Amino acid sequence: MEYKVVPFVASIDPKKGTSNHVAEQLESLIKTYTNIGWEYVSLESVSTFVHADNGCFGFGAKPGYTTNNQMVVFQKK
């Protein structure tokens, strides 16, 4: 079995956007990959730790942080 993992980042207008717009973007991504032979499996959240940046001589230093990314998983049999 073959797998493909694709990042999913929805983009909406903060004044006019709704969860329906997010759903439409996800549906479009799934349809695009389905049309080229991939089968949708799941939407997964992946936590990633971004290491601290010490800056130059301590100037501009930034602490480390955790971020979450959404990944769409597809498969081919």
Tell which wins on pLDDT, 15 or 6: 6
Q: What is the pLDDT of residues 36-75, one digit of tens each?
A: 999 999 999 999 998 888 887 778 788 898 999 999 999 9
pLDDT score of 59: 80
Q: What is the CA angle 29-35-39, rounded to 5?
A: 75
pLDDT value at residue 71: 97
